[in-house]
Amino acid sequence: MSLAVQTADLDVVGAGFVHLDYAATAPCVRAAADAVNALLPSYGSVHRGTGPRSRTSTLEYERARAVIAGFLGCRPGDQVVFTRNTTDALNLLARALPPGTTTVVFDGEHHANLLPWPNPVRLPAPATPAEAVAAAGRALAGLRGPALLAVTGASNVTGELWPVRALAEVAHAHGARVVVDAAQLAPHRPVDLRELGADYVALSGHKLYAPFGAGVLAGRADWLDAAPPYLAGGGASAAVGDSTGDVRWQTGPARHEGGTPNLLGAVSLAAVCAALTEADRDELHDREQQLLTRLRHGLRDVRGAAEVSVFGPRSERVGIVSLALPGRDPSAVATRLADEFGIGVRAGLFCAHPLVRRLTGASGHGGCAGGLLRVSFGLGTTPADVDSLLAALPVVLS
């Protein structure tokens, strides 16, 4: 794996698309593609075998883990466990909770951070960041036994940044731990466990400019080492006896990484992390905010499309905007944008049904009809992409 970062490393691979759906899956960047290509001629099985291919692969896999630990600001003793994606990472943590743990979670979460928890206390999506902190504090104060606060870093619906640092402080003040769903935060902002004061973070490679199939759960080792293995099998077991249940499980990340590891996924994700570590994140941030401003200004002239928000119109957000289209079917609008203008956006409920229901004023299961129309930016987004959307929207909404 080449970690010598080039300026073109964050260039998106594949031209000619007006892709405004980065929040679903981001295109691959050069660093990730190069990392995969570099390993194609030499890969072998990780942690299995002594041949040169296996040795190289084991070395690269563990190097990828170390790079990602650095990218996420892991503390000494923290673990980085490779998973398939964020959903997998959060389910792994859910299965590793000490018995009796209560998880406090807001209704504004993506289903991946709403549904896995065995003993959840669900709070309504708050109206302001301060309300989020106050509500979390009240809920945690009333709990006994181990507790976890599970919170998104940035909403996949509104792009709004949640007050993770303040939430971590209030959680710790009540003896609880915090996991950050960084699926949407990591592609847009640095995610540092120490700076956030968070205990765990989960993310997906495919939203972070790497190909599919690799994600990460990083954070405190004790719960993970004490838990039953997430995937029982080879790699997770250190020694297996002749009778049922006579198994000594691994400690460390291997405990939860049963089966042959996804080397190319891990290495390509690490390559992106290395490139982002070297990048001027302030410049990337400014560029994205300019795109958001351009979209917002342009939308003022588009009748029938209003940006939705949980924390209010001025809330700080990453490059994700959802639009309410009263009286319209967002899917039909998205289909026309694709068919007639070659523009990719997302329509629907974005695996966040309670939140979209609230934002659309609908109620009950199956409420909120077609949901919202979501526009999301990433490293390859240009002002021309935004202008194409702004030119097409009035036509498809007329």
- Contacting positions for ligand PMP (CB under 6 A): 23, 85-87, 110, 112-113, 152, 156, 181, 183-184, 204, 206, 351
Shortest CA distance to 58 belongs to which of 113, 109, 97, 1? 1
Output the residue with the shortest Cβ distance to ligand PMP: 156
Nearest residue (CB) to ligand PMP, 204 versus 309: 204
Query: Minimum CB separation from ligand PMP for residue 241, in Å?
Result: 36
- Is the CB of 110 or the CB of 317 nearer to ligand PMP? 110
Q: How far is the CB of 56 from ligand PMP (least distance, A)?
A: 28
Q: Give dist(CA 72, CA 193) in Å, integer.
A: 6
Q: What is the dihedral of CA 13, 112, 131, 180, to 10 degrees?
A: -60
Distance of closest approach, residue 87 Cβ to ligand PMP, in angstroms = 3
Closest CA to 67 of 25, 32, 118: 32
Question: From the CB of 212, what's the least distance to ligand PMP, in Å?
Answer: 8
Query: Looking at beta carbons only, is 204 or 268 nearer to ligand PMP?
Result: 204
Whose Cβ is closer to ligand PMP: residue 151's or residue 393's? Answer: 151
Q: What burial class does residue 395 get, using C-beta atoms within 10 Å of its C-beta: 0-12 exposed, 13-18 middle, 19+ buried? A: exposed
Smallest gap from residue 113 Cβ to ligand PMP (A): 6
For residue 332 the two structure tokens come to 């039909």
Q: How many residues does the chain have?
A: 398
Least CB distance from residue 58 to ligand PMP, whole Å?
26
143/302 Cα distance (integer angstroms): 48
As measured in angstroms, the least distance from the Cβ of 111 to ligand PMP is 8
**CB closer to ligand PMP out of 21 and 60:** 21
Strands 343-344 and 247-249: what pairing?
Answer: unpaired
Name which of 67 and 351 has its Cβ closer to ligand PMP: 351
Helix (H, G, I), strand (E, B) or coil at 206: helix
Return the SS3 of 307: strand
- Decide: 332 and 343 in contact? Cβ < 8 Å: no
Residue 43 or 230: the one with the smaller Cβ distance to ligand PMP is 230
22-49: b or e for each residue (b if 16 or more CB lie within 10 Å)? bbbbbbbbbbbbbbbebbeeebbebbee
CB atoms inside a 10 Å sphere around CB 365: 6
Asked if 331 and 346 touch (Cβ cutoff 8 Å), the reply is no
Cα-trace Rg, the chain:
22
Q: In what order do the strands lie in the sheet with 320-324?
A: 306-307, 320-324, 372-376, 346-348
* Catalytic residue of the set 28, 273, 351, 368: 351
Tell me which residue has tokens 């036509």.
395
Question: What's the distance, CA 243 to chain centroid?
Answer: 41
Q: In one letter, which amino acid is 358?
A: R
Is 74 one of the catalytic residues?
no
- Our CB check for ligand PMP shows the closer of 114 and 396 to be 114
User: Which residues contact residue 160 at a Cβ distance below 8 angstroms, ignoring those fewer than 6 apart?
Assistant: 154, 309, 310, 311, 315, 316, 317
Q: Smallest distance, Å, CB 105 to ligand PMP? A: 12
Catalytic residues: 351
